[in-house]
Structure 1
Amino acid sequence: MITLYAVSDSIGETAELVARASANQFDDDIHVQRVPYIKSPEDVIRFMESVKEPRNSAIVSTIVLVDVREFLVQRCIEKGINIINILGPCISTLSRMSGKQPEYKPGAVWKMDDEYYKKIEAMEFAIQYDDSKSYSGIKNADVILVGLSRTSKTPLCMYLANKGIKALNIPLMPEVPLPEEIFTVDRKKIIGLTIDPITLMEIRKHRLGKVKAGYREIEYANGERILEELDYADKVMRRLRCKTIDVTKRAIEDTALIIMETIGYKPDNK
């Protein structure tokens, strides 16, 4: 088995994302391990001592501290470990193009600026109004997701919140009327989530396998009930005249990208 270490002088999320994206391109068993806060030569030494199989190991590094990065590269050469530094070449290129020296600040991607606090506010918004806890946030939402239970509404809201987008979700049930507030907002803000009935049944059955199911829960995964709900959801979305997205076997990131394009989201570039 190959171990791919995601090494960083900060929390290591960027390195881990790149490492996992790379590992997912192969069928082989590649284990990704995050190694955060490598900020000194002593940290490098301790980490290298923990690498038990150098020949079956590789490193993806986002270390920006030059002395630590160079020390790590040297130790990898000595041990015969392959290392790829992600940020180094990009920082060097930008430095050459701009004629400026980089600040070499670990964790600079997590800068606590207005955009950061906007994300925190959006996350608090998503939690406060999740799953119809309250409809009072409809008028302040950047996007409103409507769909049946288990169509990824909550994960999508949290993902969008991490982009600074205030997302609110409304679960659709034939027995529960839509809030009147939804008919007062711009239709472009409303996104309907649809799904294949067989896939929805499988997801709900899997969900029930984790809980003690009563009569209502069994109906939750019943085929006839699901078709009834899907028919109701289709009628609601037609009434709302909103854009719909089929989330069947679609990754959260993919669905979120479509939503962001639909609402005209543009990240702040600084």
Structure 2
Amino acid sequence: MKEVNIHLISDFTCDMLMNISSVLGSQFPNVKINRFFHQFIRSIDQADDIILSLKANPGIILFSVLSDEIEEVISKASSEIQNCKIIPLMDYMLSEMSSHIGIKSEKISRSAAISQDYFARMNAMSFTINHDDGRLAEESDEADIVLIGVSRTSKSPTSIYLAHKGYKVANIPFVAENLMPKNLLLAKNPLIIGLNIDHERLIWLRESRMQTDGTFGMSMQYNDTESVIDELREFRRYCGKLGCVTIDVTKKSIEEVAAYIIKIYQTHKE
């Protein structure tokens, strides 16, 4: 099997380059991809180690560093190493965008450009963790999004996924209408989403949990068919009372559910 070395060079994390290299690699199923990660490259001093790695493992270079000085050093070195090919992704994208809009890019430091977004996401993550599983429900009006649903509808993982995208999320488990926070009926700021699910799928999930975690603290109705059907019926009535959007999560991944929620949220804020 043919092997190809791919060096991922970025002035931040290599996540974007990793995704690109994965897509590229998938188009060559009979080629083994060896990846070399060079992240947070922000000074000329760091170029020496990269050049040594290129000499030892020549191959394709996916380059995403905004510094012209660093790019010049790496480009010159790679041109002198046999079987090295540099692909300056950021330069290409900036050039194409600049050509399209007729404005030259400023090449602002990546760390400066992302700092505001980074701290917003960290704030969202902190808020979401503190408002998980019904905690501090009285503060739910401060959230961007409130998720409600019966047990085992992926409220917490969906909340964390959305928080990583920068949304402040509170999630509240539905047990019975009379136990739900009264302030939800008056909430004006957050988008409230009900996570709905098919009763058969819910029973299967709950039985799987019982096999894994045991039955301590769980009522006899937790996986009883009639009780689950009644529980979901009451939940749907409550969502109707709130006038909130519901999403059927039965056959959807967390990523799919989150993408749908984000789309609704964008409309909600307009």
Structure 1 length normalisation: TM-score? 0.74
Change (3 A) 1:163 1:228: same
Q: What is residue 169 of structure 1 aligned with on the other side?
A: 171
Match of 2:214 in 1: 213
Quick check: 1:194–1:244 contact (8 Å CA) kept in 2? yes
Distance in 1, matches of 2:88 and 2:209, equals: 41
Aligned residue in 2 for 1:87: 90
Do structure 1's residue 42 and structure 2's residue 44 form an aligned pair?
no
Residues 82-119 of structure 1: CA deviation (Å, up to 9, x unaligned): 55432111223345555546336244542x23x54433
Whole-angstrom distance in 1 between the partners of 2:111 and 2:143: 30
Q: Which moved more, 1:64-73 or 1:211-220?
A: 211-220
Residue 201 of structure 1: how far off its partner (Å): 4.6
1-side partners of 2:60 and 2:134: how far apart? 46
- The CA distance in 1 between the partners of 2:5 and 2:195, in whole Å, is 38
Tell me what 1:264 maps to: 266
The change in CA–CA distance for 1:108 and 1:223 in structure 2 (over 3 A counts) is farther
More off after superposition, 237-246 vs 68-77: 68-77
Post-superposition offset of 1:137:
1.0
Q: 1:18 to 1:218 in 2, by over 3 A?
A: farther
C-alpha contact (below 8 Å) 2:9/2:65 kept by paired residues? yes
Q: Distance in 2 between matches of 1:250 and 1:33?
A: 34
Give the 3-state SS of the residue equivalent to 1:264 in structure 2. Answer: helix
Pairs aligned (count): 260
Q: Distance in 2 between matches of 1:196 and 1:139?
A: 29
Query: Which residue in 2 is equivalent to 1:124?
Result: 126
Question: Which runs of structure 2 are paired with 1:171-210 in the superposition (5 Å)?
Answer: 171-174=173-176, 177-186=179-188, 189-204=191-206, 207=209
Q: Which residue identity lines up with residue 127 of structure 2 in the other structure?
A: F
Match of 2:250 in 1: 248
The Cα shift of 1:217 comes to 5.6
Q: 2:21 aligns with which of 19, 22, 27?
A: 19
Q: In 1, Cα distance between the equivalents of 2:106 and 2:28?
A: 35
Contact 1:126 1:166 in 2 (8 A): yes
Distance in 2 separating the partners of 1:32 and 1:228: 53
The match for 1:103 is 107
Give the secondary structure class of the aligned counterpart of 1:260: helix
Offset of residue 237 of structure 1: 1.9
Mean alpha-carbon deviation: is it higher for 18-27 or for 100-109?
A: 18-27
Unaligned runs of 5+ in 2: none
Aligned partner of 1:231 in structure 2 is 233
Quote how far apart the aligned CAs of 1:193 are: 1.0
Percent identity over the alignment is 27
TM-score by length of 2: 0.74
Is residue 137 from structure 1 mapped to residue 139 from structure 2 by the alignment? yes
Deviations 1:218-250 (A, max 9, x none): 969736264454333323223322111122343
SS of residue matched to 2:40:
coil
Counterparts of 1:25 and 1:109, CA distance in 2: 33
Structure 1: segments with no counterpart, 5+ residues: none
Give the conservation status (yes or no) of the 8 Å contact 2:128–2:160: yes
Q: CA-to-partner distance for each residue in 1:198-232, whole Å, 9 max, x for gaps?
A: 544554555556x5423546969736264454333
C-alpha separation in 2, matches of 1:58 and 1:205: 49
CA distance 1:98–1:147, change in 2 (3 Å) = same
Offset of 1:131 from its aligned partner? 0.7
Cα shift readout 1:124-153 (whole Å, capped 9, x = no counterpart): 221211111121212222221111233222
